[in-house]
């Protein structure tokens, strides 16, 4: 019997070799690209299907995972035959219009696998690897579905920005100690992070245009891509009947041109949490700018009335939400000018929501904008997406005529294909009228701000507004999303609270004057640690005027920098970052609910040069009385080392100016 078995095995092997030699069975084709530092390898196998895997430092982190697309006229992936392979190694730089650096290295290895009428493009950077599909069809197509599997190996922990809907992006993070222990069907926004003992793996996307946004979902024990289907019927509803709500969806996710590139699917891996705070792969993969002149795009900081209910105790005039009028807005503009802020953000209430040309009779918007111009303060105006997309040139032309410099567009509340189109339509129209854009109530960024640099910010984060309603915007959360959500791009957290509370003392307040969780210095550090090209000062001018020493720092801290160094960081626990603008340096340190001492040296300073340091640290009892802080001025240089004592939910900031 054993002899018969051996003969049968030999016969099978011989038969298989004969079939291969005869061309009846095609051998699997295995191709790969490597990151410049050789730490990451993206491998693709082509036979009956197209599958990829990812290696990091010689170990597999994403096991063989099938990818493809199902169109109405063809299935991309199964039984594919590679017709041509093109390779490229790119080494260049991207000069940034604003951000955390003046320029960033753009170095990668690329491979394009060409099939009959579609291609698979693969790239490997030091920061991560990515793939995308490209098609070359003569006619429009419907994308029935996309197959994107992220078969992360073993059993990592999962940090999940979890959601059961396709309409919300300001979500808290849910932490699962193991992927196997996470229930089936759980869905999350991207980016999403998987955590091993020494390695973090992040799944993200870039260059999302004319296509629904990527979610991930656990199905069949694996992490798979998920997308909102195309809207078939929409009605106005939700908040005040000014949000476009989907009542019925089509049995496909997109209808689009036959010749195009689809979004990048990204896998990031790192054994150093610091790199997650400086990862620019989403931006690098995005389409370069299509705007020829962006000299008018100037990110900055803004006074803002909404968070604190427009209550200004020392204004000398009536304040509060019912008293938002020309005089009160002019008071905010005066505060912005005195505080060296570039902008005033006027939120909902200045106009009719459904017709932006119908201005609130309490507000002479032209007079307010003119007053701002006389003080060197530009004005942003709030509106809802559903109104703006009906006739963007009409409304944006009117705002341009008034002299506004930007818009805050709110309540998208979707990221299906139709809603994603709105982002580009609005960015294009705003650019025609030389208006900057702050997106709110929106899905996460995917690099569109590179294509249209007049997009100066996105919300898409559970921010300070939630302090009015619940306990989710807390120091633990503050040390989560910079390592995950911020990889996607800038965020509008709206920091600046001067009413600070410990975990025990905090209670949500709405309406009225809210407070925030964490110390005063924790809040100040947000202006360094968080990436916010358009940054709000969320609190009342009356509160800031109480602390002239703090305003020395807040009046100076910029939103765009020439260089960034991540000094220390651990996901969910602490972060210390140093950023330079010109010759000035700004250092921000934050901790979660654990008090800790962080030793930092200032070796990033130029050697042989003295600096004056304004140092703000938690007060002795800041763990209980969170508004307590200490401020001192000292001389430092590149050899100086400091031990920063951070209270529970604490922080510290340094403002360093060269001694002339």
Q: Where are the domains of the chain?
A: 29-271, 324-460, 462-533+548-660
Exactly one of 146, 207, 410, 614 is catalytic; which is it?
A: 410
Q: What CA–CA distance (Å, rounded) separates 498 from 495?
A: 9
Percentage of residues of the chain with pLDDT beyond 90:
95
> Quick check: 338 and 548 in contact, CB under 8 A?
no
SS3 label, residue 583: coil
Instruction: Count the neighbouring beta carbons within 10 Å of the beta carbon of residue 597.
Output: 9
Q: Express each pLDDT in 443-499 by its tens digit.
A: 999 999 999 999 999 999 999 999 999 999 999 999 999 999 999 999 999 999 999
Short-list 421, 163, 139, 396, CA closest to 257 = 139
- Please give the distance of CA 324 from its chain centroid, rounded to a whole number: 32
Range 360-378 average pLDDT:
98
> Quick check: 249 and 417 in contact, CB under 8 A?
no
Does the pLDDT at position 20 exceed 80?
no
Q: Express each pLDDT in 84-115 by its tens digit.
A: 999 999 999 999 999 999 999 999 999 999 99
Q: What confidence score (pLDDT) does residue 73 get?
A: 82
Q: What CA–CA distance (Å, rounded) separates 507 from 46?
A: 57
DSSP 423-467: HHHHHHHHHHTT-EEEE-S-PPP-SHHHHSTTEEEE--S--GGGG
Six-digit token string for 288: 């370069």
DSSP letter for 225, please.
E
> Quick check: 258 and 139 in contact, CB under 8 A?
yes
Query: Could you tell me the pLDDT band of residue 26, with boundaries at 50, 70 and 90?
Result: low
Mean confidence (pLDDT) of the chain: 95
- The CATH fold assigned to 29-271 is Beta-galactosidase; Chain A, domain 5 (2.70.98)
Range 279-304 average pLDDT:
98
Q: Which CATH architecture has domain 324-460?
A: Alpha-Beta Barrel (3.20)
Does the pLDDT at position 44 exceed 50?
yes
DSSP 344-401: EEE-TTSB-SS-TTSB-TT--HHHHHHHHHHHT-EEEEEEEHHHHTTSHHHHHHHHHH
Range 3-16 average pLDDT:
39
Does the pLDDT at position 522 exceed 70?
yes
Does the pLDDT at position 4 exceed 70?
no
Does the pLDDT at position 240 exceed 50?
yes
Does the pLDDT at position 7 exceed 80?
no
DSSP letter for 162, please.
B
Q: Express each pLDDT in 198-218 by its tens digit.
A: 999 999 999 999 999 999 999
Does the pLDDT at position 256 exceed 90?
yes
Decide if 324-460 and 462-533+548-660 have a common fold.
yes
- Please give the distance of CA 311 from its chain centroid, rounded to a whole number: 31
Q: What confidence score (pLDDT) does residue 3 get?
A: 38
Q: What confidence score (pLDDT) does residue 239 get?
A: 81
- Tell me whether residue 410 is one of the annotated catalytic residues: yes
Six-digit token string for 68: 């493809």
Short-list 646, 641, 597, 642, CA closest to 620 = 646
Residues 6+ apart with CB under 8 A from 465: 170, 307, 473, 494
Distances (CA, A) of 56 to 39, 60, 277: 5, 6, 19
Look at the pTM and tell me if it is higher than 0.75: yes
CATH 2.10.109.10 at 462-533+548-660, yes or no: no
For residue 308, which phi and psi values (nearest 5 degrees)?
-100, 25
Among the listed ranges 47-51, 149-153, 172-176, 238-242, which one has the minimum average pLDDT value?
238-242
- Tell me whether residue 562 is one of the annotated catalytic residues: no
Short-list 433, 471, 473, 437, CA closest to 452 = 437
Residues 6+ apart with CB under 8 A from 173: 159, 160, 161, 162, 477, 480, 481, 484
Exactly one of 205, 413, 465, 532 is catalytic; which is it?
A: 465
For residue 293, which phi and psi values (nearest 5 degrees)?
-125, 115
Six-digit token string for 418: 């139709």
Short-list 237, 44, 74, CA closest to 144 = 74
Residues 6+ apart with CB under 8 A from 8: none
Q: What CA–CA distance (Å, rounded) separates 335 from 303?
A: 8
Does the pLDDT at position 655 exceed 70?
yes
Does the pLDDT at position 538 exceed 70?
yes
Q: What CA–CA distance (Å, rounded) separates 452 from 438?
A: 12
CA-CA-CA-CA torsion sign (462, 463, 469, 470): positive
Query: Could you tell me the pLDDT band of residue 2, with boundaries at 50, 70 and 90?
Result: very low
Among left, alpha and beta (phi > 0; psi -120 to 50; other), residue 365 is alpha
Short-list 108, 486, 452, CA closest to 288 = 452
């Amino acid at each position: 019997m054993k002899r018969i078995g051996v003969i049968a095995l030999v016969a099978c092997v011989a038969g298989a070799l004969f079939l291969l030699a005869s061309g009846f069975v095609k051998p699997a084709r295995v191709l790969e690209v490597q990151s410049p530092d050789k730490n990451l390898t993206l491998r693709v196998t082509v036979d009956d299907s197209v599958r990829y895997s990812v290696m990091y430092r010689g170990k597999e982190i994403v096991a063989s995972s099938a990818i493809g697309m199902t169109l109405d006229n063809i299935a991309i992936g199964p039984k594919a035959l590679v017709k041509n392979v093109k390779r490229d190694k790119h080494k260049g730089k991207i000069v940034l219009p604003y951000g955390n650096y003046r320029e960033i290295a753009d170095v990668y290895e690329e491979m394009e696998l060409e099939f009959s009428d579609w291609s698979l493009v693969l790239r490997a950077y030091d920061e991560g690897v990515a793939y995308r599909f490209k098609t070359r069809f003569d006619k429009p197509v419907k994308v029935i579905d996309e197959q994107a599997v992220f078969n992360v190996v073993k059993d990592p922990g999962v940090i999940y920005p979890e959601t059961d809907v396709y309409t919300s992006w300001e979500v808290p993070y849910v932490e699962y100690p193991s992927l196997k222990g996470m229930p089936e069907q759980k869905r999350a926004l991207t980016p999403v992070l998987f955590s091993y003992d020494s390695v973090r793996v992040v799944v993200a996307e870039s260059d999302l245009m004319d296509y629904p946004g990527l979610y991930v979902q656990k199905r069949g024990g694996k992490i798979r891509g998920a997308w909102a289907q195309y809207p078939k019927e929409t009605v106005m509803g939700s908040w005040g009947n000014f949000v476009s709500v989907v009542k019925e969806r089509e049995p496909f996710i997109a209808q689009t041109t036959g010749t195009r590139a689809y979004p990048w699917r990204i896998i990031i891996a790192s054994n150093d949490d610091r790199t997650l705070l400086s990862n620019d792969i989403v931006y690098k993969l995005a389409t370069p700018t299509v705007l020829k002149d962006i000299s008018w795009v100037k990110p900055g900081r803004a006074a803002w009335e909404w968070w604190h209910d427009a209550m200004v105790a020392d204004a000398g005039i009536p304040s509060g939400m019912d008293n938002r009028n020309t005089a009160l807005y002019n008071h905010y503009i005066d505060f912005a000018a005195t505080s060296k802020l570039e902008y005033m953000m006027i939120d909902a209430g200045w106009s009719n929501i459904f017709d932006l040309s119908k201005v609130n009779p309490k507000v002479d918007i032209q007079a307010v904008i003119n007053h701002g111009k006389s003080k060197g303060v530009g004005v942003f105006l709030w509106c809802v997406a559903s109104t703006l997309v009906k006739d963007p040139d009409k409304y944006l032309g009117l705002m341009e005529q008034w002299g506004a410099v930007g818009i805050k567009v709110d309540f998208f509340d979707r990221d299906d294909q139709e809603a994603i189109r709105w982002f580009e339509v609005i960015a294009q129209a705003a650019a025609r009228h030389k208006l900057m854009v702050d997106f709110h109530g929106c899905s996460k960024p995917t690099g569109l701000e590179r294509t249209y640099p007049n997009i100066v910010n996105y919300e898409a984060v559970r921010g300070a507004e939630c302090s009015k309603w619940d306990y989710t915007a807390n120091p633990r959360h503050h040390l989560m999303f910079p390592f995950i959500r911020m990889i996607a791009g800038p965020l509008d957290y709206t920091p600046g609270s001067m009413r600070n509370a410990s975990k025990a003392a905090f209670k949500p307040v709405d309406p009225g004057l809210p407070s925030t969780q964490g110390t005063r210095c924790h809040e100040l550090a947000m202006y360094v640690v968080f990436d916010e090209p358009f940054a709000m000062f969320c609190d009342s001018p009356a509160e800031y005027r109480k602390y002239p020493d703090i305003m020395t720092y807040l009046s100076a801290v910029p939103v765009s920098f020439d260089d960034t160094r991540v000094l220390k960081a651990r996901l969910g626990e602490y972060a210390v970052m140093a950023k330079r603008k010109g010759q000035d340096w700004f250092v921000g340190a934050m901790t979660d609910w654990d008090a800790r001492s962080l030793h930092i040296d200032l070796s990033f300073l130029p050697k042989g040069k003295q600096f004056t340091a304004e140092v703000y640290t938690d007060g002795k009892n800041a763990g209980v009385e969170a508004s307590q802080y200490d401020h001192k001025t000292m001389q430092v240089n590149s050899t100086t080392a400091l031990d920063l004592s951070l209270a529970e939910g604490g922080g510290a900031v340094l403002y360093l100016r060269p001694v002339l």
